[in-house]
Structures are given as C-alpha cells and as structure tokens.
A and B are shown apart, each in its own frame.
Chain A
C-alpha cells in the first residue's frame, strides 16, 4: 500500500504501523497481518483520511476508543505524530549507517585516518555531530592494518605517504556531522510540536526543510565516495570497476554505482522548502514528513550501494594482504553482509544483491552485527 497524496509514496511498513499503533494505546497488540488490506481505501488520502479509515477499521473490528483518541485519529494528528516518530527513528539509524559505509570505504582505499583525529574535531571545529562522526569512524576502523602506511605500502600502490585523501573522504566528519547537527535541531523541533499538540507543526516544517537539504548532501558525499571505488587511480589501485578475477564476462560495478546518481537526483527534487509550497492558511506538515521519509529511503539505497561496493573493495584488499586485518567494526559488517551477498566474481543480475544489502540495512542487521563488535555507535 502506498499513500500517494503525500506526494512521496510511503508504504505502510511494519515500522510505520508500530509508530501508528503507539499513538492508539488500546490497539498496541494488533499486528499488521491482521489489518493488511483493511485500510486500502486510503491510497489517495490526506493524514485526516488515513486517520478516519484507521478509526473505521478499528471500529469494524469491535474496538471502541475513548472520545479523545477518536478525535486524534479524525483530525489526522495521530498520523502526523506517527510519521514524526518514524522520521526520527529512521534518520537516527541512517546517520550511523553513513559512518559505517564511510569506514568500509576507508578500508577498501586504505584511507588516511588523520582527518578523523579527535583533536581536529574536539579542538579545531567542536561541532557535536562532527565529534561524534569522527569517533564512530575511529571505533569502526580500530585495529585496522589497512588504513595506515604499513597497509598502504604492503598493498603496493602507494609509494610515499598519502598525506590526505579526496574531500569526499576526509570531509566525512564535517558533512556527516553537519547532517547530525541539523538532525539534532530537527529532533528538538519535532518533539516540541508533538508535545504541544501544535496542529500546523510550524517548527517541524522549517526544521524538515533543512533536514531534507542535509540528507541530499549526505547522499551526495556517499555517491562520490562510491564513485571512486570503480576507478583504479582514484581508489589507489583497486581493479577497474572492482572486477575480481577475469575481466571478459565480468563487468563489475559501474551500473550499480550509476543507480546512486539517479537516486541522488531524485532526492534533490524533494528539497524545495515548505514556505514555497504552502497554500495560504494550510500546513505542509504531512507533505514535509512524507517527503522526508521518501528522502530517507533514497539515502538508504545510496548507502546500501556504497556498503556493497566497499565490501567488494575490501575483498580485493584482503586477497592481496591475507595476513592483514580490517578494523573490528568494519570486519563485522563485512562478515554480516557476506552471509547474504556473495563476492562478485562473474556477471550476475545485481538487483537482488542491492535489495539484499538494503534489507540488511533497513532491518538493522548490519548495524547490530557491527555494534556487537564495537559497542553502540554515537
């Protein structure tokens, strides 16, 4: 099921359903399977239409709600709160995955970790998000023999100290951190609107305008980092298109990487700010929340491709340096991914690989496997 009037097409996932029923305490036990199909009439609904059809569905199932909760559904407010909660949960997860993708990429290109030195962030540019991102990367790559001169020289491409990597790599703390700082602000504003029951969600509208821009930037920098993995020169010696084995019938990752460019373009279409869209006297809260969820989904897909490609790059490096180890975090992520997605040695249909990587990301499997190894990321 898809809500098209959100202009974004948000499927009624289990995760959204959980946020919805959390808004209606008596039905917390109702599962998605029991109601799927029952609310198909809201495909073209507003938040009010959706709330009303949810209410009707619950009444048909014999559930009587207190008057106040009926009103929260009829006004659409319960739906807005659920969407707000889902935006916060998914962005929070997305930010940690973005650090994870960058850390795996660093292993593949045997990146320079100086840019993640705590002093640059704690002392020089002490933005909270930037400090957190740099710490995550250091923890994920902790124990890596690849991301240092020893690994770089042993691999054989680098003949002199690296000095510094390209900006999409070394600006990871600033960019991911900037997104984190916007997200912290958005979190505060969304919670304030929900807490006060502010029907227009005026704070949320403005904060999500900024968050959408930041998410576009996050997807952009991930696309650039993955782009480099396909080029021998830009990746410091990985084979062209990450081809392992014979070239003939193995095309590697160029088509997979190009999907990121399309996804980023699609994401940027969503960044038109709320005040430019508003019909006088109306709120754009529902549209803004749906747009943000769509943007999160697109950014997740971009990150899933970076993770998939970085894992292939790690396999190349491991084949050259079997006695060297990756960081504890990146190693755990790689192992988790490889249980579902095999290394690419010859051409195969890649969409299932991309969907498998996305599913591992969205279900939280990659993150929990990683956090089991290095503790909870910030």
Chain B
C-alpha cells in the first residue's frame, strides 16, 4: 500500500473507526463482508489493521518523549570500588545497577545509582561528594546505608548504596495479610529510623512506599535518605536550594513542597502521615485516580477524609475511628507547625495508642474547622473570638473524654460530637463566605434543625447553649436572614446576662454580633451602645491591640458612617487598620478589609485620590488570598467601579459593577441583600450613559430584593426609591418619578429632620419631577428648600447641591424668569 493521500485518508477515516472496533476474532468475516461491496476499501483497511499490530509491537510513539531503552552497555564498567553487574531499574533520576565490590577487600553487593545530571564537574562535583560523605555517616539498622558518593572522571555523578532485597512496605503488608497492630509496629520502625536521621539534621524529603522496603525477615529499611537534598545541593542554580526544591514525588509531597515553602523535618512528618494513611486506610488520602492538578489542589487545599471513613469493613472502621483518625490527621495538617513537632512525638502517640493510653492528637473537626473558618472569614461580621472560644470549649469536652472519666463521659461526649458534627456542617456548608467554589448556598434547613436542637438538647448547659446560639445567629446574619439571627442573639445575650456566665470574650462576641444585626436592620440607635460595650470588653480582656478589638471597632465605625458621622468613623477605622497591620501583617485578608473600609469612607467624603490606592491594595490582597469566587472580591471590584464612576468613566464603572454582580449572584444567590448596592451602582453607571430602561431594571431589582429581605419600611430602601426617581427624572418622566420620590421623602422625614441633607436631596429630585409635570409652584417650594439645606451642608451633599441648583435654574428658565435663574447657574 502506497502512502495515503489526504483525500484517501479522509475517505478511510470513518471506516477505520468501525474496523478498529471489530474484535480480532471477527475481523476476517468483517473484511470479507466489506470486500463484497468495496474491495479496495477492504484491502486498505486490512493493510492498515495489519500495520497497526506492527506499530503496537514496535512501540511506535508509544512511550512518549524521552523514552530510552535501558542501556545495558554499561555492564562491567567500574564505578569507584564497584563493578556494575546488571540494570535493576531506570527512572527519572537515572539508572540503578546491581554492583559487586571489585577491590577484593570486602565481598558483597551494592546498588549503584547513576544520576541523570548535567555535567556537574568542578565545585558542584566537590559539593556533591562532600554532602554524600555526610549522608554516609548515617548509621541505623533501619536505614539503607549510603556507602559512597562521587563523580567519575567522565563527570558522571553516582551513589553507592547498601543493596536491600525487599518489598515495598505497602505490598509487604498486603502480601502477608498483616493486621492493624503488626502494621503499626512496622510503621514505628520507620519512625524510629526517620527520628534517628532527624537527630543528625538529615531530612529524607521523599518518603514513599517504594523507598520503604521490608526484607524477607521482616526488617524495615529506608532507602534514599537525604538524596533529594543531595541532588538539590548539587544543582547548578542556587535558587533551587533557597526554594527548597520541588517534590520528587507529588503523591507524597507535603503542601510546602508543592508551594515552594521551607523544607523541614515537618515535611517528613507529613509524608509519614500519607504513608500511615495508606497502610491503614488502603488508599491515598487524595483518593484513587487523582490527576496531577487535583493532587496539587488536594495537597494544598483540601482536608483528606477521616481515615476511618475510607475503609469499608465495619470492624476496621471502628478500630480506626477516634485516636488513629486524630493521629493521622495531625500528621497531615496543611500547616507544618500544626503537625507533630517531631517524629518522636508522632511515635509516642502511636505507642500510647497501642498501650491504650490517651493520645495527644485532638479531634480536629471543630477547632480546625473553626480556625479555618476564621482564616477564610473576612468581611465585617468576623467572629474570630467566638469560634476560638467555642473551639476551646469543645476541646475541653473531648479531653475529658480521653482521660479517666471515659465511661461516665460517654453520654456527654456523644452529645458534643453530635453538636460538633452539626456545627462542622454549618460552618462549612451554610456560610457562603466559607466556600471557595461558586456553589449556591444551601442548608437553611440544616440551620433551622440545629437551632431547635440547641434549645432542646442543651437545656441546662447555658454556657454551651449561649456559644452555639451566638455562632448560629452570626451565620444567619451572614446569610442576610436578620429576622432569624436576632432572636438567637437576643437569647444568647440574655443567657450571658442572666445566667451570670463568666465568659467575657463570649459576651463581647454576642454584643458585637447583635450590634451588627441591629445596625443592618436599621436600628442604629440600638446598635451603637452594643458595639461600644463590645469594644470596651475586648480592649479590657484581650488588650487594646487584639485583632478582635479591630473587628468591633470596624463594626462601630460603620454605625457612625451610617449615621452620617464619618468624622467619628475615620479614627476608628484607622485604629483597626493599624491593629491589623501590626498583628496580622500587610497581606492578611482582614487588613484588606480594613483598607477597603477606610477607602470607602474617604471616597464618601470626596477624597477619590486618597481612596483609590487603598482600594487597589485591598483587591490585590483579596484576589491573592481568596481566589476569584469569593464575595470579598466582588466587594472590591464594586468599589473600583465607584472610583471609575467618580472619574466619569461610566463604561468602566459599568463593567466593574456587572462583574461584581455576577460574582455575587454566583456565591450568594439571586435574593441576597448584598446584591442591592451593586445593582444600585450599576443603575448609576447606566443612567450616566443615558440608558434609562436598563438603569431602571437594575434599581427595581434592588428594590425588590430589599423589600423581600428588609421590608418596605427599612431606612435603606429610601435610597433605592430615590435613585429610581432619579432615573425617571433623567428620562424626563416626571409622572413616574413622583410616587417613588414621595415614598422616599416620607421615609426620610420619618428618620431625619427637614434640615438634614438626606431629606433635601429627595426634595430636590421631587422638585424636578414636579417641574417636569409643569407644576411649577410646588416644584419651586421643594427646590428652594433643597438648595437652602444642601448649600450649607458639606460632604456628599455637594453633588446633590449642584443638581438642585441646576434644577432650580432650569425651572426659572422654562418660566422665562432668567433673572431668577442666573444666581443658580453660577
């Protein structure tokens, strides 16, 4: 068959698909049948199928780039005191040879590794040799010795290692059907060897089953100790050693090896955790068939399932549940400092477990989730302190469980477990802010069931009850369901005050959260004192520089900002920012929150240039820390839109607002009150571009959302009504503008005196709406009053003042009273 033309290939292609699917046994009859109708096609296919066998046999393109058949040609070559006998394996690092001692001084075999490295020569070669000699001092019965390391005259780096004839530890356990305690004892021998090496300041860095062999007589031998470091040391680039180098084997790499963090003994602790997980759970913590990308993500980001949850057999599950779960989880902590501080302490816990003594590893569910939640939890309603307190409370519970009171505490412990399980779900599922991915928040039902349970099951335990109610109230608050949040928080506060709980931090938390809910529901007068008390307690109990003080300060500042007293809010925000900078650092999420809060305040006071860099800093921190799908990213994007709006870049503003809106919809759903401000801003951006129908649609959606979540008497709805009126006025539709503006005016007059600029701003628009209906007399009254108030008020009223003066001037001009108009045209 001659080479195929393009046309012939295209004609053959679909038939080839079919032919390749035919089983070998049926191929003859398939081709015979085809030959009846199209003999040429049948011949071509037959040849191609035959050729396919050949290609498969020859491995054409089969091995991917870089495949090289093992080079047997080196057999017999001398490396140092050894003669290469036969190739044992070939891998990424190079080839491994079985070698015989050739100087006759000792009999015996060794494994020689020839390393695939650039010609390191010179200083690199010397360093390689020197480091190798240090490793060669490592002498432990469970460590395969490094006998020699060096570089041949031909610049070939090599390692000579004790030859171990054994099976990978996981395969060994399976093949011998070892039970739990036999596996643990084998693993403890591994720990012993690693501990010995750590004492000599040698970190393995590449612990995995294929480096942990068990010999025929059941002895453990660790291979390749420190080799990874040795290779890095010899690397030509100094940067590699600084960065710590990449993991040799991603499956067993610790998070810090993935992210380029410092490599320490804790790195080995992690890999040992993976190994133990596999020995006991029968699978990798990241699961089966994980792709490299998932693996990176799993290692860096995702907590592995509890060990006991991955085994099928109920008896093993019972055996693993509890202490062994906790031990493995502690070794596998993402944060190196939360792992066992040493391999000895890891070994000690296993010893205690086997001796039926209480272990040091704590159940990590709540404490850990709590901490994690706090880490992720960022915007204002932060509740770091409550969670820490809560976590501490439950840890006490669990500790009692593992000490002497075991039997008596069983009942209580079960209860605590149930609650912690519930909370764990709540914290991870119900709070949209705790999720990185853009799934819809669900589980309000879970929350409700939880609230009932707290009341019933924890009756008589006011301290725990108060803590849990506080947490749930806060979560409801975060979901924007203030009517549910408030009773829970009220109850928690009452418990604190009446039951005389000696829990000042807990009290401060409830005060803080309740203050937030009061403020968010428009009750600024009640919110202020609650937050003032929260700040005071936190300052006193935690110290004036504590991050929790910053949290309450920010909340209080918001009350002042909302009450039209930005000058009182600013110093509080600056203090909060300073606290966060000094305690949490410049790249921390809370610092970002403070930055944008302060920026927003400056912006509201007309200081665009002061605000913008703060906004951008905040966005950069938020994006870097939380990824794209976090509500805080939306907040920052929204704020940049506001800056663009200020600079009259309306299309830029529009795209920022739309982006923020899309993010919020994805994370918060379509009915969350946080959508409203962005919709409102979008309305402005569209109005400035004279796109009135779109602008109206946006603000009307905001109004619907606010009405649904806050009702139509909430103070903030006046703003939205006013803006809807503004669009109607801009579109020249005074008739449609009038009713919404009158509603807004009534609400504003309920909350503020007529001399307040917020009342005047509505009057100004209402005047314009009336003017458009040629009701000049009424229009003039409102406009004159508005201009009077707005002209003497500073701040945001300035913009409204200019608009009101313009309206009044236009009103006089339409009536032919140019002389009256002139002063307002200035």
Note whether A and B form a binding pair: no
